[in-house]
Chain A
Amino acid sequence: MQTAPRDAQLPVTREQGLEFLRQMLLIRRFEERAEQAYTEGKIGGFLHLYIGEEAIAVGAMAGLNADDDVVTHYRDHGYALARGIDPKNAMAELYGKATGICKGKGGSMHFADPKKHFWGGYAIVGGHIPLAVGLAFAAQYQNQPRVAVAIFGDGATNIGMFHESLNMAKVWNVPMIILVENNQYGMGTAVHRASAVPDMVTKALGYNIPAAQVDGNDVLAMRDAMMVAALKARRGEGPQFIEAKTYRFRGHSMGDPQRYRTKEEVEKMKARDPIVRFELQLVEHELATQDDFAFLRNDVDRVASEAVEFAETSPFPDPSELYSDVFAPEASNG
C-alpha cells in the first residue's frame, strides 16, 4: 500500500488551483440548486447528491487525459461536471427535458457523454465495473494509450461483479483504474457492518493490484494519486486501485431521514469540508485571496442559475422520442 507523496510546497499553480476550486464550487452549487428544484417537485425519481465529495471527482478527472474512459455510478453529477459536461445540459437532464445530456431519457443516475469519454452513470451497484474492464481491454487491443476508470462506492466492493472485474482485469493486465469512494456508508449501512475489511485497499491486494489510500477530501492528493495510477496503467503495469476516504454530507438520496448516523458525526465530518480546506491551503500558500473566492462563488452562482433557467425554459422531449433509440440503425451488410 502506498500513499501519494505530499509536498511542502503546494504542488499547484494559481491558475490550476483556482480552476480546481471553481469546479468544486460549481459542483456544490449545482447540487444545491438540484436539491432545491427537487423539493419544488421539478425533478423526479432518485437524486443522489455529491456534496462533500467534490474533491474526488475534480482531482481524479484532473489526473486523466481527455480521451481516457470513465464510467461511474448513479452519484454522477460531480464527475459529469468535472469532465466538462455543460451544466445546462446536465440540469436539463434532471428536469427530463429534450435538451438534457441524454435527451431526458436517462435522468440523474444516467448521465453520459461519449464525446468526453464519459460513458455514463450506472444505477445497478457494481454493474458498470465490468464495462471498464472492457473499455480498458479495447484500449489495449487497439494499442491506444488510454486508461479506463471505474468509479463507485465502498458498498459496491461487496458485490460479485467487483471481484470478477478485478480478477479478470489483473489476469488480462488491462489499463484500468479502480477508484473507490469510501464515504463510510452504502445507503444506511456503515462500512464495518457490510465489509469484512475496513480498508478497501485490502481487497485490491487480494488480486495483486497495486493500491493507494488517499484523503479524498484533498483535491491535490486525488489528482496526484490519479496521475500516478494512470501513468502506471498506461505504461503497461496493469490495473491500479485508489481508495479515496471521504464522507457524504447529505443523505444517500433525497428524503433520507439519516437514522443511521448522528448529527454530531455529520457536523464533525463537515469540518473537513474539501472546499474550505482547499481555500485555506490556497490562502496559506499565498496563491489566492478571499476576493478570488468571492469572485468564483459569484461565477458559479451565475452558471448554476443559468443552468436552472435553461432547464426550466427547455421543452420536454417530443413524444416521438418515446419510440426512438431502442435499436441503433443497422448499416447495410457487405
Chain B
Amino acid sequence: MAEKSYRDAIKDALREEMKRDERVFIMGEEVGVWGGTYAVTRGLHDEFGDKRVRDTPIAEAVIVGAAIGAAMGGLRPVAELMTINFSLVAIDQIVNNASKMYYMFGGQFNCPVVIRTPAGWGQLAATHSQSFEAWYASLPGLIVAMPGTPYDAKGLLKSALRSNNPVMFIEHARLYGVTGQVPDGEYFVPFGKSDVKRAGKDVTIVTYSRMLHVSLAAAAKLAQEGIEAEVIDLRTLRPLDMNPVIESVKKTHRALIVEEDWVSCGMGAEIVARIAKDAFDYLDAPVERLGAIEVPMPYSKPLELMALPEEKHVIAAVKQMIA
C-alpha cells in the first residue's frame, strides 16, 4: 500500500496497461508534449513516445470517432477529452457509434474504447462546470464509471482498459490532488459493484465521485451527534448495482441521494425510482435528493459555492429526514 493521489493512481493504471499491452495507446488534446491538461498523462509521452501518446487537433468528434475506429481495427485506445463539457461535440460518436455498434451489427464486432474525461468546476462558469454522467448512464451499451477515490480510480480504469466494451470514464477535476491508499500490485475494481464506504444504521446516503467526500465528511459530523449514516459509493452508474442500496434502506428506512449534477432527470431520479420499487415498504420517509442548484453555473466565487451541495446541506437534509 502507498499513499497516492487520484491523478497518479490513474496514471499508474495507464502506464501498467501500456507496458503490458502494445495495443493500448492514448490520444487527445495536449496529452503528449504538454502532459495532459490536468497533468494526468505527464511523463507518459517521454516514456512511450509519439506513437503511443498522441496529440490531436482540437476536434473532439474525430478524437472519439478515430478511437472507435482504432478499436475496430484491433487496438485498445484511450481517448482523453479535456473536460466532459467538450464531450458534447463528440456525443454523436459516443451515442450513435460506440454504444450501439455491438448490438446494431448483430454482435459481429465490439468496441473496446475508453473515453477518459474530467467533470468538475472551479470558477469556470456556465460552459465549463457541467456534469453529464446521467446522460451517458442512460445509454444501453455504454459502461459509465465515475470513481471517487484513488483506489477506485485505478482499479476501475484497469478494468476499463481490459474491457471488451466502450467505457465512459468520468474523473473529477477537483479530485486529482486527493490522496488515498493504493495497493502496490495489480488489482481490479469490477464494474457494477457499489461499495459501502461507511457503515451506519440510521440513514442511507447514496453518492459517487466528489460528493462521496462531502458525504463522508458530513457522516463523520453526524456521528458526533449520534446519527450513523451509511454511505454508499455507486462507482459505476452503468451497470448500476443497487443491491447494497436496497439492503441498506431495508435497515435504515431512509435514503438521501447526493450528486453534484442538477437533480432534475439526474442519477438521483433513477435511484429514487428503484428504491421506490424495491424497498417501498421499508421507507419511513420520502427519499430525498441533493444536487446543484438548477442554474447555469455562475462565475463569481461565492455564487458558485452557493450552487453546489456542501457538507452542511447533507447534514441538514439528514437531520430533517430523521426528525
Contact = CB atoms under 8 A, between A and B. Distances in A.
Contact of A134 (B67, B96, B101): B67
Contact of B65 (A138, A161, A167): A161
B62 A130 contact: yes
Interface stretch (A17-25, A106-114, A263-271, A275-283): A106-114
Interface residues of A, number: 50
A165 B140 contact: no
A66 interface: no
B280 interface: no
Contacts of A331: 162, 164
Contact of B96 (A102, A127, A326): A127
Contacts of A160: 61
Interface hub of B68, B143, B158 (most chain A Cβ within 10 A): B68
Contacts of A119: 72, 109
A231 interface: no
Interface in B144-193: 158-159, 162-165, 188
B70 A112 contact: no
Interface in A130-181: 130-139, 141-142, 148, 160-161, 164-165, 167-168, 171-172
A112 B111 CA distance: 14
Given A127-B92, A148-B69, A164-B59, A138 B106 contact: no
A232 interface: no
A63 interface: no
Interface size class on chain B is: 35 or more
B164 A134 contact: no
Contact of B66 (A69, A104, A137): A137
B141 interface: yes
A130 B61 contact: yes
A326 B103 CA distance: 5
Q: Interface of chain A, helix or strand or loop or mixed?
A: mixed
A122 B97 CA distance: 9
A328 B102 contact: yes
A196 interface: no
Contacts of B73: 69, 134-135, 137-139, 142, 148
Contact of B69 (A135, A142, A327): A135
B164 A103 contact: no
Contacts of A148: 69, 73
Interface in A290-334: 324-331, 333
A200 interface: no
Interface string B90-114: 0011001100011111111111100
A161 B96 contact: no
B127 interface: no
> Considering residues B54, B57, B104, which has the most beta carbons from chain A within 10 angstroms of its beta carbon?
B104
Contacts of A130: 61-62, 64-66, 68-69, 93
A326 B66 contact: no
Nearest to B110: A328
B108 A131 contact: no
Among B51, B75, B105, B141, the one with the most A-chain Cβ atoms within 10 Å of its Cβ is B105
Counting chain A CB atoms within 10 Å of each CB, which of B65, B74, B158 scores highest? B65
| Residue of B68, B73, B77, B110 with most chain A CB atoms under a 10 A cut-off | B73
B66 A105 contact: no
Contact of A330 (B57, B77, B163): B163
Nearest to A131: B69
Lowest 6 CB-CB distances: which A-B pairs, in order?
Answer: A134-B69, A130-B65, A138-B73, A102-B106, A328-B110, A103-B106
9 contacts: A69-B72, A71-B69, A106-B106, A119-B109, A130-B93, A131-B97, A138-B72, A164-B59, A328-B110
Given A112-B105, A134-B77, 7 more contacts: A113-B108, A122-B96, A134-B65, A138-B70, A161-B65, A327-B141, A328-B112
